[in-house]
Amino acid sequence: MPPERNRLLPSWMLAPPGPVESQLGGSSPSDKKLSSFAEKTIYSIFHLLRDELFSERLSRKKGVLQRLDPRTKLLMSLSLLVTLSFLHKIWLLGLTYAILLILALMSHVGFWYFLRRVWLFVPLVTGILALPATLNWVTPGNPLWILHRFRQDFQYGHWSFPQTLAFSDNGLRSALLFISRVGVSVSIVVLLTLTTPWQRLLRALRVLGVPQFFVFVLGMTYRYIHLFLSLMLDLHFGKKSRTLRASRWSQDQKWVASRMGYLFKRSHNLGESVYSAMLARGFQGEPKILEELEWSRSDLLAMTITVSLCGALGLLQRLLV
């Protein structure tokens, strides 16, 4: 475009368009006030799709865990989860978590990203569940922080309660052990999902005896969830682009109800169309998968190391009891 023609255009038309992530991805509901339900929905769907795409990119990288067969990683994860259920020493859980962090770094998973995926919500949720166990009425022990002192001991039915209500040392130790075990267990599952494409992870369920048709249905469900999320995002973007002023709350509710009905009808019609297309292509109730999973020497080595690690953790637990 000639320079003299550029001077006839306003500056906002000449500005290069920025990516959507710069407008929505860098902000949060606390940083940016979302004025309508459409903006809130767009924000939520955008971040859900962005996180999922980022996880898929991680699973395609050339890391240590990405090179392994998904069945191997599934068996490794199950072995570690079973072993964790028998560990009662916090330092053993810490040792296991340190190994997970090393594996995450060797698999090109960001250190802080991996920590945020687990420890932003695990202490809150498990802490609420473990809070009653920290009291001396539930877990007897030496009182560390007295909450209330009654006049005397009392009894309720078959249960007797001491005069002092306090946080006990045994209760806090049990709560810390519970939170640590849940955090390490969730970290194992998160590392598995971050380093394995979802479709291959579903196929790995066959090693546990899950029927192939059930795995096929799960894969189709996962794929079409993303399709309808994109459709919902388009619907809300369309409404926002056609909205000149804020509408009444009742009108927004009617619009949401109508879009829910539209999505239900669209999903039903799409399901019928896809099934008819599958029948037209020879589908007879059992899906045929072209890609075959193959074991390698790396898988055998990884399983050997995992079994040895589980045995060593179990032996340390027994020796230190």
Domain holding 90, by residue range, is 35-243+255-282+293-319
* 28 within domain boundaries: no
- Higher-scoring residue by pLDDT: 162, 75: 75
Tell which residue, 169, 172, 183, has the closest CA to residue 84.
Answer: 183
What is the length of the chain? Answer: 321
16: in domain: no
Instruction: Give the angle 256-266-217 at the CA atoms, nearest 5°.
Output: 115
User: What pLDDT was estimated at residue 288?
Assistant: 67
Structure tokens that stand for 216 in this block: 């096929």
Given a cut of 80, is residue 57 above it in pLDDT? no
pLDDT at 162: 77
Within a domain: residue 288? no
pLDDT at residue number 31: 43
**Looking at residue 51, what is its pLDDT?**
63
Of 19-23, 78-82, 286-290, give the range with the top mean pLDDT: 78-82
Task: Quick: pLDDT tens for 112-161.
Answer: 888 888 888 888 888 888 888 888 877 888 888 887 787 777 777 677 77
Tokens of 299: 């898988």
The answer to whether residue 6 sits within a structural domain is: no
Total number of domains constituting the chain: 1
> Is 116 in contact with 104 (CB distance < 8 Å)?
no
Which pLDDT score, from 0 to 100, does residue 211 have?
A: 81
19's torsion region: left (phi>0), alpha (psi -120 to 50) or beta?
A: beta
Mean pLDDT of 213-227: 80
> Worst-scoring range by mean pLDDT, 12-16, 64-68, 166-170, 258-262?
12-16
For 148-204, write each residue's pLDDT tens digit: 787 777 777 677 777 788 888 888 898 999 999 999 999 999 999 889 888 788 888
Q: Assess if residue 1 is contained within a domain.
A: no
pTM of the model: 0.72
Residue 11 is assigned to a structural domain of this protein: no
Q: Does residue 76 lie within any of the structural domains? A: yes
Residue 14 lies in a domain: no
Cβ-based burial of 268 (10 A; exposed 0-12, middle 13-18, buried ≥19): exposed
The answer to whether 118 and 186 are in contact (CB under 8 A) is yes
Ordered DSSP codes for 150-186: -SS-EEETTEEE-SEEEEEHHHHHHHHHHHHHHHHHH
Question: Of 128, 134, 160, 130, nearest to 147 (Cα)?
Answer: 134
